[in-house]
Structure 1
Amino acid sequence: MSEAADIQASDDAPGLAARPAREFFGHPVGLFTLSTTELWERFSYYGMRAILFYFLTDTLANDGLALDDATGAALVAVYGSAVYLVTVVGGWMADRVMGARRAVLAGGVVIAAGHVSLAVPAHWTAYLGIVLVALGTGLLKPNVSSMVGELYRRDDPRRDSAFSIFYMGINIGSFSAPFVVQIAREIGGYHAGFAVAAVGMGLALVAFVLGRGALHGAGDTVPNPLTPADRPRVVRMALLIALALAAATGLAWVVARAGSQDAGVLDVVIDALSYLAFAAPVVMFLVMFRSPRVNAAERSRLTAYIPLFVAAMLFWMIFEQASNTLSQYARDHTDTNVLGFTISPVLYQSVNPASIIVLAPVFAWLWVRLGDRPSTAVKFAIGLTLAALSFVFLAVASAVAGDGRSPWWVLVVVYVVQTLGELCLSPVGLAATTLLAPLAFRGQAMALWFLAPAAGQAITAQLITATDGMSRTSFFGGIGLVTLVVAGVMFALAPWVTRRIREGAETDEEIAARH
């Protein structure tokens, strides 16, 4: 998922009073600390993700895990889904238990342990590493960017440029990681590549720990600490989560056994996590709709948010396939000869962050020039349309290639078109979420937004396993055409959604919540 959603989320977070501090290019030195931390954390995350599918599906002789392509792709998808599910818990832990700074530090340590586990040449440590990276990222991801907001007052004119600098660091890390990790992989195999990711996370931790003084207490405060009176509710919540995990696992086992006697533990895990990712947003919507603290007007606006959520979910379903089905297409169906040079399929993972670096300033200028046009709902529809068209284009390219390979530039076009869609949808996503969420659930709006990519990647995991053996033209074309129909519905619903957003912005409660 794009980090633009995280940046927007942080910008909506309440800032603390500005702290006296030395400055770095007109900004607090703490911004340099957090930007450096996130640059290296994203380097480690995207470096690991760039080679994960290839590692899972390569032969044992090449130090891979020898999974079939469908299982490997589904596992990568559900891993991404799990990351976003855990961010809900990570945000809660920071708000109620440990504060953002300790959450980031703990998450970084767990991520580093995960990359080290992946660097060890053993099967069980590889699976342990995937679990640890997912857990650690879920703890770190929602909290590091929120600390940027704490360095500035709400009315500080430097806030927007601060998040732009922070965002640039993220994309530098994301862009460079596949190149460095691929070099390490060519020299020492997959485990060397994962070791590079571990070093990247280690550098992130060093930057974060050494730069603590520059943060001047940002992230140290627990915004809403647990009290003794909260303990029974927390225990009930923990029991409900455990029950949900058990129910999802049980259902996944029954379904797996009914579908195939050869179903293994990995199939059950993939299905169980998918069910949880599907169920989480449904439960959250139901809780909001049924809450006595939500009035009729808020329920009306919440209803208007559902099409936006569905659009976001389907967008991320397509966009996040960069690490699974598109990685497979790059390896098996793309001519990697570029102007006489042979490039690794891994390097396609750098196209999106490179496109973001080039195009994000253009879009920022464009939205300022256009003001409120197009509306949020139309931006969502445009973003979803572009994602759908990228898959339709890939399906056509695949059909043209037949049994051969598509030219190298086909996937570049796919990634650039998806990036254009991302810049239409992602930066405005959380703003719409916080605006349309009921006032009593405003603090949980970020969790709801993160459940969209979680559910989207869960859909991907199920589609991959359900369509195993289908031609790539049918797979990409089918997804693209269905999504294009949904985008058309989104365009039709846009005026209705826009009216609800404007009504939400005009209430006194909403205005008070935004200032």
Structure 2
Amino acid sequence: MNQDNQNDFFKKSVLGHPAGLFVLFFTEMWERFSYYGMRALLVLFLTTSIADGGWAWNVENAMALYGTYTMVVYFTPIIGGYLADRFLGYRRAVVIGALIMTLGHASMAIETPTFLYIGIVCLMIGNGFFKPNMTSIISNAYAKHPEKKDGAYSLFYMGVNAGAFLGIMLCGYIGEKVSWSLGFGLAGIFMFFGMLQFYFTQNIFGNIGLPPTAETKKAIKDKEAEENDAPHIIRDRIIAVVIFSVFSVFFWASFEQAGGSMTIFAEKFTQRELFGNAAWTFKIVDALLTIMPLLVISYVLVKLFSKTVKEYALGNSILALSFIIIWGIVIWKINRDFSATEAEVPASWFGILNSLFIICFAPFFSKWWESKYNISGPMKFGLGLTLLGLGFGFLAYGSMGISTDSVVRVSMVWLIAAYLFHTLGELCISPVSLSYISKLIPASWIGIMFGVYYLFLGMGNKLAGSMGGLIETISQEYSLSTFFLIFTIIPIGLGVIMLLLTPVMKKLMHGVN
């Protein structure tokens, strides 16, 4: 990619970053809406009784399917990244992936075992084309502005979690309270909107992300030859990426309990039925938690419109329509809740806290990473793992004295505190990982190396499903508190190890900050 393409990309600015970054922001937002909306429902749907519309699977089997699905959706990006690098280009791969995922969500809405598995396979394949190539577009766009990458990825990550917030909130609510099929189907509708918005606005990227030509392939070969002049530096930096990735496995194995054991904890052991003043207080808080982030995202949308609506009217119109529908669903939801005299907090509701906290804290972390108080990548990893472990410490303490057959239900405060610390830890690791990979890896390998990174994330997700499925076994043999204590000790221990490895990691990174 030449300098002119990057200059064109940076011509129109929104909130201090190129307008094109926010096109990616909203595309990723709708993809994450669909992913997390479906994820919020999957285990609950599978384990809910047949009388209540579910399939009455046991927890271990449901978590095994959940773990396999979340593992493979992170394995397929290595293939999608390779195909985009060599043949398709990043933009075409994103559109293909989004279309396949739309079909997957539509299939799951039919609610039969055959279509469930067809849908899951489509989501696995589609994610492989979509996931690594969105981040590759950012990497290429900011190639000449490495100092802004951490901030750009943090803002992009805000879009990721805005989608997760809305997906869990709305798909989870509709799935649990209205219809499982409608919950799954809603996820597919907004995946389709995201694809159309990206397709009709993609020219904003100039030549970034187009299929490689003979000229660009030659440039890649020349670049590879140039990079081979310093193979020891490439080797060391790849080693650093692998070390970061290995630690990420354990981070995600713990963090992804949110979609499994923490959801089960919310459903079975957390006081969710509220009456009187408590019910009204929750309804007001829930309404504010829904409206305020949506107002923030709508503000970003308006800022993007002001820069791009004349040139990309169709793409902007599709994006506007999607937000009109979202606002309509939100108003319907709030009205429905306030019409009831009591309140039962959906078990999936707690999943929105991670996304809410991301939306609140991502701008702060973005500014931190761009300030003179920025800390090194290894220190960010160590801090993130430690914060994650502390979050599980709240659950370990809050669940003391509770067994699997206990009728005791604990305060929601423990889950809220856990999600807060998990989110702070995530902000130190997930968006920063994407930024550091893009800095440490040669440009010609970027797509496939993002795929390799997601391969490690897939291992973490499968491990999350396997470990989460042991919640009943460990709780019966020891205690529920012991189960969460395991997830407290391991991340904190690994966080300390990473902090101790900081000097070695800095040496391997050869000046990348």
TM range (shorter): 0.7 to 0.9
Residue 319 (1) aligns with residue 319 (2): no
User: In the TM superposition, what is the alpha-carbon distance from 1:466 to its structure 2 partner?
Assistant: 5.7
Q: Please report the TM-score for the alignment, with normalisation by the length of structure 1.
A: 0.73
Amino acid at match of 1:424: C
Task: Give the structure, 1 or 2, with the largest relative contact order (CA under 8 Å, sep 6 or more).
Answer: 2
Residue 377 (1) aligns with residue 408 (2): no
Amino acid at match of 1:318: S
2:303 corresponds in structure 1 to none
The 2-side partners of 1:344 and 1:209 are apart by 35
SS at match of 2:144: coil
SS at match of 1:335: coil
User: In the TM superposition, what is the alpha-carbon distance from 1:177 to its structure 2 partner?
Assistant: 1.6
User: Relative to 1, partners in 2 of residues 1:440 and 1:166: Cα closer, same or farther, differing over 3 Å?
Assistant: closer
2:420 corresponds in structure 1 to 416
2:210 corresponds in structure 1 to 220
Contact 2:32 2:163 in 1 (8 A): yes
1:365 corresponds in structure 2 to 367
SS at match of 2:89: helix
Contact 1:96 1:224 in 2 (8 A): no
> What are the ranges of 5 or more consecutive residues in structure 2 without an aligned counterpart?
218-227, 280-342
Contact 1:385 1:487 in 2 (8 A): yes
> What are the ranges of 5 or more consecutive residues in structure 1 without an aligned counterpart?
1-11, 228-291, 507-513
The 1-side partners of 2:161 and 2:176 are apart by 24
1:99 corresponds in structure 2 to 89
The 2-side partners of 1:78 and 1:396 are apart by 30
User: In the TM superposition, what is the alpha-carbon distance from 1:82 to its structure 2 partner?
Assistant: 0.8
Greater Cα offset, 199-208 or 209-218: 209-218
Amino acid at match of 1:377: P
The 2-side partners of 1:424 and 1:377 are apart by 10
CA distances 1:434-484 after superposition (whole Å, capped 9, x unpaired): 566689966643233222311111222333456652103222212322333
Residue 343 (1) aligns with residue 345 (2): yes
2:311 corresponds in structure 1 to none
Which runs of structure 2 are paired with 1:17-416 in the superposition (5 Å)?
17-19=6-8, 23=12, 25=14, 30-148=20-138, 154-155=144-145, 166-186=156-176, 188-222=178-212, 299=235, 302-303=238-239, 306-337=242-273, 339-340=278-279, 341-373=343-375, 375-401=376-402, 403=406, 404-416=408-420
1:262 corresponds in structure 2 to none
Q: Please report the TM-score for the alignment, with normalisation by the length of structure 2.
A: 0.74
SS at match of 2:76: helix
1:274 corresponds in structure 2 to none
CA distances 1:223-245 after superposition (whole Å, capped 9, x unpaired): 78999xxxxxxxxxxxxxxxxxx
The 2-side partners of 1:23 and 1:328 are apart by 46
2:484 corresponds in structure 1 to 476
Greater Cα offset, 215-224 or 104-113: 215-224
CA distances 1:298-356 after superposition (whole Å, capped 9, x unpaired): 55555555543332211111111211111111111111246324211111111111101
User: In the TM superposition, what is the alpha-carbon distance from 1:42 to its structure 2 partner?
Assistant: 1.6
SS at match of 1:66: coil
Greater Cα offset, 343-352 or 294-303: 294-303
CA distances 1:405-447 after superposition (whole Å, capped 9, x unpaired): 2211211111110111112222332444456668996664323
RMSD: 3.5
Residue 429 (1) aligns with residue 433 (2): yes
How many residues were matched structurally? 429
Identity of aligned residues (%): 30
The 1-side partners of 2:42 and 2:366 are apart by 33
The 1-side partners of 2:141 and 2:440 are apart by 27
